[in-house]
Amino acid sequence: MSVNLKILRYSPKEGKRYDTFEVPYQRWTTVLDALLYVKAYVDHSLALRYSCRMASCGSCGMLINGKPRLACYTKISELNSNEIICEPLPNFPIIRDLATNFDRFFTNHKNMMPYIINEKTDRKMDDIHREFIQKPDEVEKYLQFSYCIKCGLCYAACPTTAMDKEFPGPQALAQMYRYMIDSRDQASRKRLEIIDNRHGIWRCHFAGSCSNVCPKGVDPALGIQLLRSYLLGFSKKGEEKAVLYISSH
């Protein structure tokens, strides 16, 4: 069996064009296998990013037949098409061909302080001789969000990210929720202040595309809604003046 692989090629000098390659495939061949076939046997100059080949590293994300997917996790046979179109992820600047620049994505993630902050207790989180015990239901609150592999598919699918360059994107917001809801974390107020503004959490209009494309079963749209409910809960309690963005604008 063979399939036509139509790949968007880009270089700053030559601009964009599509190249089509006929590639042999088997029932189990992934889109990444097909791209690596092209790179190995037809055109060595093809640029793409990958590493683990097992949906763990998050580096092979691209648009495959119009949908953000992991190339290593997408079998050609399951696409039911004679033509597979591979394009770089939208909402990311293209470096070359299918390789995109993730700088802004990772900066947004970093800005959410994706680590546990525990300043109000004398128990140091890095003290290896002591445990910080969590009950199963406390772990359950953040568990699904901890499966994120930072592949950027949700960010590529998000219409708000496409419109507002200052919006942190679904991945960063969901990771904010992951740490904020962790029973070991003590920095809720500090965290919520970061996203309680016109380009922050309120910008999401709940298209839900992020959750539709996540290959790890994370539901970033849910994380965003839960963060919102947390903010609104604060407003009701009237405890945190710094986060009352909606009532003051």
Least distance CB 172 / ligand FES (angstroms):
19
Scanning the chain, the segments in alpha helix (DSSP H) are 31-41, 76-79, 103-111, 136-143, 153-157, 159-163, 170-180, 188-195, 209-213, 220-237, 245-248
Residue 186 contacts which entry, ligand SF4, ligand FES, none (Cβ below 5-8 A, type-dependent): none
Give the range of 48-56, 82-90, 166-174, 239-247 binding ligand FES by CB under 6 A. 48-56
Give the range of 47-55, 98-106, 175-183, 205-213 binding ligand FES by CB under 6 A. 47-55
Choosing from 6, 9, 53, 67, the residue that interacts with ligand FES (CB under 6 A) is 53
Pair of tokens at residue 89: 């992820």
Residues 179-208 that bind ligand FES (CB under 6 A): none
Residue 153 contacts which entry, ligand SF4, ligand FES, none (Cβ below 5-8 A, type-dependent): ligand SF4
CB 116 within 8 A of CB 61: no
Distance CA 86, CA 103 (A): 22
Least distance CB 215 / ligand FES (angstroms):
8
Least distance CB 128 / ligand FES (angstroms):
30
Strands (E), 36-133: 61-64, 67-70, 83-87, 94-96, 99-100
Pick the closest to residue 153 from 169, 138, 132, 137 (CA basis): 169
Measured from the CB atom, the residue of 170 and 200 that comes closer to ligand SF4 is 170
Measured from the CB atom, the residue of 79 and 116 that comes closer to ligand FES is 79
